[in-house]
Amino acid sequence: MSVYISRMSSKRRRVLMTPDARRQQLIAAATWVFARKGYRQAGISDIIARAGVARGTFYLYFTSKQEIFVAIVNDIHGRITRALAGVDSAAALAGHATDPQAILRASARRWLAFFAEHRDAATVILKEASSIDPRFEKGFTELRQSAAAFFAARFKRLQELGMARSSMQPELFAHLQLGMFDELLNRFVLRDPHADLDALAAALADFEWNGIRAH
């Protein structure tokens, strides 16, 4: 009797899950699988096993492995966009005018923490998206463009406040910072769940400040 009740309860939980919640469950399961097995080695069977759903449930939401991979790219793109909204406003920068290095350190810490929190998705995006299929390039390119635009705008605000050297192009700085972040994420954050994010942010901020500060 208790087994029967348990099974009925499980069925009720599945029925009560909204379509949006089920879709996110499948995306989370696919992200976990792709981060560990790689896109090419993973299959739909791995995803539904991780999610604990039937194959038919998967096809209610996605037509293929490729489609759910694109959904992962779009999902993390949306999360990054929301994370950037309102960050490092001109008012906030002006409030730290006496300690511009603190601005760089706090910003780096937020970025590192974001990717540490979404480690599996970051692993999939950084290691898989740019090399799997040309169809995935659009989402990956848009993701990097959003990040580059954020870095360039922040650097330009620092220039306007007289903190950063005026001779450096914001777009150039943005791409240099993207490259540094890629290396930090791949070498330290994604490989080590216990990475010292404060130390990494401080080191990056110190390096950046010595390169961009106005003389």
Q: What is the pLDDT of residue 111?
A: 84
Q: What is the pTM of this model?
A: 0.71
Q: Which of 45, 63, 81 is the last residue of a domain?
A: 63
Q: Which of 36, 63, 90 is the last residue of a domain?
A: 63
Output the domain CATH number for residue 145: 1.10.357.10
- Confidence grade of residue 165 (pLDDT, cut at 50, 70, 90): confident
In percent, the amount of the chain with pLDDT more than 90 equals: 27
CA atoms within 13 A on the CB side of 29: 19
Greater model confidence, 55 or 9: 55
Give the mean pLDDT of 109-130: 83
* Rounded Cα gap, residues 77 and 38, in angstroms: 20
- Confidence grade of residue 159 (pLDDT, cut at 50, 70, 90): confident
**Alpha helix (H) ranges present in the chain?**
2-16, 19-37, 44-51, 55-61, 65-84, 90-95, 100-117, 119-124, 130-132, 137-160, 170-184, 197-212
Q: Where in the sequence is the domain holding 181, given as residue range(s)?
A: 64-215
Q: What is the pLDDT of residue 64?
A: 95
* Rounded Cα gap, residues 207 and 108, in angstroms: 12
Q: What is the pLDDT of residue 4?
A: 45
Q: What is the pLDDT of residue 90?
A: 43
Give the mean pLDDT of 113-130: 82
Please, which residues have CB within 8 angstroms of residue 2's CB and are 6 or more apart in sequence? Answer: none
Q: Which of 12, 47, 63 is the last residue of a domain?
A: 63
Q: What is the pLDDT of residue 120?
A: 92
Same domain, 179 and 98: yes
**Is the torsion defined by CA of 82, 21, 131, 127 positive or negative?**
positive
Same domain, 180 and 163: yes
Q: Is the pLDDT of residue 95 over 70?
A: no
- Confidence grade of residue 98 (pLDDT, cut at 50, 70, 90): low
Q: What does the DSSP 8-state code read for residue 18?
A: -
Same domain, 138 and 57: no
